[in-house]
Amino acid sequence: MQNPPFKIAVLGAGAWGTALAIQSARQGNETLLWCRKPEQAEAMARERENTRYLKGVAFPEKLKATCELSDLSGCNSLILAVPAQHLRSILLQALPLLPKAVPLVLCTKGVEISSGLLMTEMIREIAPSHPVCVLSGPTFAIEVAKGLPTAVTFAADDREWAGRFIDTFSSKSFRMYYTDDIQGSEIGGAVKNVIAIACGIVEGRQLGDNARAALISRGLSEMIRLGLACGGRAETLMGLSGLGDLTLTCTARQSRNYALGFALGQGQSLQEHLNSRNTVAEGVSSAESVTALAQKLQLDMPICQAVHKVLHRNEPLDTVISELLNRPQRAEPFLASTA
């Protein structure tokens, strides 16, 4: 018996949510793109593109923009792509309007500051009857929207349903690799944005490529350390949703978090940089929430802690860099170690 067609809704019309909606509709799925502001929904419906975040990329025929949460009632899969710190409030508004037990596909990266919960933990707390999946990996939204080659991890408990979703959502240029390691797939996305800010600072401060390579490798160690403590697997974090995402975000200026770090390294203040952008650098909030989670779990994550000091404690950049460089010498631990 043929599977029923997918009707996919995307919650969040930033660059990433829009790119995912375009990918979905391009594959022939009836796709709804929800945004909070009526004027933005009207503009997207009229212009058939998201000129604010992905200017020049036309919407496929099967993509519809809306600001009405009631329109979500007909979907059989909901993709979550709103900023991490706003996800709870928006999802609480949407849940009464959703079909019972519709799968929720998490594409938001971060840890909730107010609760200290991972996004999947928060979703299970407020929506226990809905299966939760994670889509994560090395992706720039504009490249996905343009159909350039991309590979991601898709984590879900139900392999049969995940296979159907992958079949209907993926394409030759958007490859999806299944895993059942939901925790590991989620942790990589939360930590990599913080490490990317650190790498941007290194370039902005002209500290050299050696320093950036060291940050990426030691940042991966921090990522795996936290992932294991949260129940994930090291091999997952050595894959697309961990090392892959970390490498992309830490080496390209089109990364919002890397660009933020670069600006800080060149002497710009955090507020000056944020005021000049219309996109969210998730690493700002993740630096706070990831550091708090590490402290709760009694894990040493010096790079994340250093970024937190710069962003949230206003400690001088040179002082924080000096503290990192003056840490005691020790043997390089196995990646899974808490040393």
**pTM of model > 0.95:** no
- Is the pLDDT at 28 greater than 70? The verdict is yes
Q: Which CATH number fits domain 191-325: 3.30.200.20, 1.10.3720.10, 1.10.1040.10, 1.20.1510.10?
A: 1.10.1040.10
Answer whether 285's CB lies under 8 Å from 85's CB.
yes
Fold of 7-180: Rossmann fold (3.40.50)
What does the alpha-carbon distance between residue 278 and residue 176 come to, in Å, rounded to a whole number? 29
Domain boundaries, the chain: 7-180, 191-325
What does the alpha-carbon distance between residue 270 and residue 261 come to, in Å, rounded to a whole number? 9
- Is the pLDDT at 333 greater than 70? The verdict is no
pLDDT for the residue numbered 102: 95
- Cβ neighbors of 190 (< 8 A, separation 6 or more) are 109, 110, 111, 118, 286, 289, 290
Block residue for tokens 């596909």 = 105
User: 338 falls in which pLDDT band (50, 70, 90)?
Assistant: very low
pLDDT for the residue numbered 220: 96
User: 5 falls in which pLDDT band (50, 70, 90)?
Assistant: low
Block residue for tokens 């970024």 = 307
172 is catalytic: no
Mean pLDDT for the chain?
Answer: 93
* Average pLDDT score over residue span 23-49: 96
The residue annotated as part of the active site, out of 7, 64, 192, 309, is 192
User: 275 falls in which pLDDT band (50, 70, 90)?
Assistant: confident
Are 7-180 and 191-325 equal in CATH topology? Answer: no
Q: How far is CA 73 from CA 17, 33, 106, 122, 208, in A?
A: 18, 13, 18, 22, 52
- Tokens coding 87: 């996800």
